Amino acid sequence: MKPYSEDLRERVVAAVERGTKRSEVVEAFAVSLPTIKRWLKQRRETGGLAPKPIPGPPAIKRDALLAALPARLAEHGDATLEAHCSWWSETAEVEVSTATMSRAITALAWTRKKLGRQTRLE
């Protein structure tokens, strides 16, 4: 899930600071009361409302895979997930699971059409 925009955070905090009841702010901006409290605390402690970075390591495998997949799918659209995984293992010397390969293909909005062709949705 993506974080709320900094603009929305600023507007919510500004409304609370103007004296608007928190219950009214919850209704007007469709955010929860704990979220408002968290943003107010963040503003007090850091002076800003920028979203915190998503924890965990960056998706190194996926970025490279997404860059290389379109050409592979154009040439070998009828290959199985296992075949695509084997190709990637040989090409990049990085193992990926069939689930990772499937998610990467889905992220590219690639779909298998009749007649064995794959077409990019637009």
Please enumerate in sequence order all residues whose Cβ is within 8 A of that of 77, keeping only pairs 6 or more positions apart, or say none.
Answer: 110, 112, 116, 117, 118
The pLDDT assigned to 112 comes to 67
Does residue 51 lie within any of the structural domains? no
* pLDDT recorded at residue 21: 96
- Does residue 87 surpass a pLDDT of 90? yes
Conformational region of residue 115, where left means phi above 0, alpha means psi within -120 to 50, and beta covers everything else:
left
Q: Confirm whether 33 is domain-assigned.
A: yes
Q: Note whether 39 and 90 are same-domain residues.
A: no
Does residue 52 lie within any of the structural domains? no
Query: Is 89 domain-assigned?
Result: yes
Q: Could you tell me if residue 41 is inside a domain?
A: yes
Residue 86 resides in a domain: yes
Q: For residue 112, which of 80, 82, 69 has the smallest C-alpha distance?
A: 80
CA-based angle 102:103:108, to the nearest 5? 100
Total tally of structural domains belonging to the chain: 2
Residue 30, domain extent: 6-46
Judgement on whether residues 86 and 110 belong to the same structural domain of the protein: yes
Assess whether pLDDT exceeds 80 at residue 122: no
Please give the C-alpha separations between residue 2 and each of 10, 59, 107, in angstroms, as whole numbers. 17, 16, 16
pLDDT tens-digit readout, 30-75 = 999 999 999 999 999 999 999 988 788 877 788 889 999 999 988 8
Is the model's pLDDT at 114 over the cut of 80? no
Q: Is the pTM of this model over 0.95?
A: no
Note the pLDDT of residue 63: 85
Answer yes or no: do 74 and 115 share one domain.
yes
Per-residue burial over 52-90, b = 16 or more CB atoms within 10 Å of its CB, e = otherwise: eeeeeeeeebeeebeeebeebbeeeeeeeeeebbebbee
Same domain flag for 115 and 70: yes
| Pair 13, 43: CB distance under 8 Å | yes
pLDDT, residue 31, reads 96
CA 88 to chain CA centroid, Å, is: 23
| pLDDT on residue 115 | 41
The verdict on residue 14 lying in a domain is yes
Same domain, 113 and 73: yes
Is residue 64 domain-resident?
Answer: yes
Q: What is the pLDDT of residue 42?
A: 96
